Amino acid sequence: MLFTTKEITETVDMITRQNLDIRCITLGISLLDCVAGSGTETRRRVKEKILRVAGKLSKTGLDIENEFGIPVINKRIAVTPLALVAASSEDLDYTPYARTLDECAKTLNIDFIGGFSALVQKGFTEGDRRLINSIPGALSCTERVCSSVNAASSKSGINMDAVALMGKIIKQTAEKTAAQGALGCAKLVVFCNAPEDNPFMAGAFHGPGEPESCLNVGVSGPGVIKSAIENCGSMPFDELADVIKKTSFKITRMGQLVGREAAKRLGVPFGILDLSLAPTPAIGDSVARILEGMGLARAGAHGSTAALAMLTDMVKKGGVMASTHVGGFSGAFIPVSEDEGMVAAVKSGSINIDKLEALTSVCSVGLDMVAVPGNTDADTISAIIADEMAIGMVNNKTTAVRLIPAPGKNAGDWVEFGGLLGAAPVMPLNTAGCADFIARGGRIPAPIHSFKN
């Protein structure tokens, strides 16, 4: 028997009472064979291929949800970084490519499409510059397109010219989408060590090393982990860690089943399963509440970094045992606006931007969905990005920044994003100047331990 009656009952309880779901199924599609001499022809080929390969994606997700009784929250597509695809065309502005992607997403009825992206950790090509400069316009005229830029890596160091540019791009994106509360910035992320197989938005893209197409799955279950911890009483950490690991194993096994079935129905290889505890604004679906379940009065209290480090590690260990191909991020996300417990911690003063940065040294990603004052200058945004890139580079982990300079908002004000993006208080920042630091440009070299050959 594949599953026992007890396991089936347990899984049903996870879904109905503890918010367990398949957060996303993301179909990766290579667009390298769509490159043509003209932008018009390249975009025609891109549209034809996406519609052909992903034609059954939305229906497959709905069918599996109905047949298995497991919620599939988002159906998504990730494509080859558009800076690579568009580079041979005559276009100076890549916004038409974003419109093409958006049209595909709407036609296919999928939630998001990622890959309006550039990989510039060691320097720019002309295509990279064109794409990055197109981001504000592209995100202001589309609804479902997500954009990412990889500005650093443990092998290459930090491209500080890219970091400086992205501070300006984030400000411009906020200004162009000010009427929507700077919503464009919620669809834009800057990475260090970006994974090529990430199913989560806004950073998903189909890396150059990926196959022609494949299906990646993101599973999320903060509520399940929280419930398991609450049933453990005051047991010591080594025993508690084992409970988290075993619970993560169960969650991952369910995701593996759904992922392989979805890939089979779509006729593509199964890529990876990303077990990341990705919270939502729903009560009980919070990573912050997991930390509090370990004995902290509030997320952000002293001890939070240690608690998050253990949680992230045990989630990864449980996932690796349950799936042959674990990838993406896998661990724990700590977005502010998307986690009601994080929002409560910020409002109470338990978490500030500095403590949040410390937590990113041990979580899956980084400063995610953080609202900052609308008058924050581009240099300050770039400096925040640089700090986060340094954490990822030195620790050989993925880090990312998704900041929202909220137009017209000051520290302590409230900003609404809606849906899974939630809402959050605007966080105050250190106002000491950093313009001269950012103006240096160049590259911060990779750390000594990057030399592993």
Peptide bond just before 186 cis, omega within 30 deg? no
For 419: left if phi > 0, alpha if psi spans -120 to 50, otherwise beta; the answer is: left
Residues facing 22 on adjacent strands: 72, 219
* pLDDT at 7 (0 to 100): 53
Side chain identity at residue 76, one-letter code: R
DSSP 209-258: TS-SEEEEEEEE-HHHHHHHHHTTTT--HHHHHHHHHHHHHHHHHHHHHH
* pLDDT at 1 (0 to 100): 41
- How far apart, in whole angstroms, are the C-alpha atoms of residue 229 and residue 241? 9
- How far apart, in whole angstroms, are the C-alpha atoms of residue 331 and residue 250? 15
**Quick check: 451 pLDDT over 80?**
no
**Residue 206 or 1, more confident:** 206
CA dihedral (300, 303, 305, 308) positive or negative: negative
* pLDDT at 116 (0 to 100): 97
* Correct CATH for 216-450 of 3.40.50.300, 3.20.70.20, 3.30.70.1140, 3.40.50.1370: 3.20.70.20
* pLDDT at 364 (0 to 100): 79
**Quick check: 149 pLDDT over 90?**
yes
Q: What is the mean pLDDT of residues 407-421?
A: 86
pLDDT band at 217 (very low <50, low <70, confident <90, very high): confident
25-192: CATH topology? Anaerobic Ribonucleotide-triphosphate Reductase Large Chain (3.20.70)
Full-model pTM: 0.91
* pLDDT at 17 (0 to 100): 53
118: helix, strand or coil: strand
**Quick check: 222 pLDDT over 70?**
yes
Side-chain-facing half-sphere of 106: CA atoms under 13 Å = 10
**Quick check: 340 pLDDT over 50?**
yes
Q: Do domains 25-192 and 216-450 have the same CATH topology?
A: yes
* pLDDT at 6 (0 to 100): 53
**Residue listed under structure tokens 């038409």:** 96
191 within 8 A of 367, measured Cβ to Cβ: no
**Residue 293 or 251, more confident:** 293
Q: What angle do CA 263, 265, 270 make, to 5 degrees?
A: 10
End-to-end Cα spacing for the chain: 46
Portion of the chain with pLDDT greater than 90, in percent:
58
- Enumerate the domain spans of the chain: 25-192, 216-450
- How far apart, in whole angstroms, are the C-alpha atoms of residue 299 and residue 291? 6
**Quick check: 11 pLDDT over 70?**
no
Q: C-alpha 237: how far from its chain's center?
A: 29
pLDDT digits (tens, 9 = 90+) for 66-90: 887 788 888 999 999 999 999 988 8
Averaged pLDDT score across all residues of the chain: 88
Q: What is the mean pLDDT of residues 96-101?
A: 97
Q: What is the mean pLDDT of residues 88-105?
A: 94
**Residue listed under structure tokens 């860690």:** 241
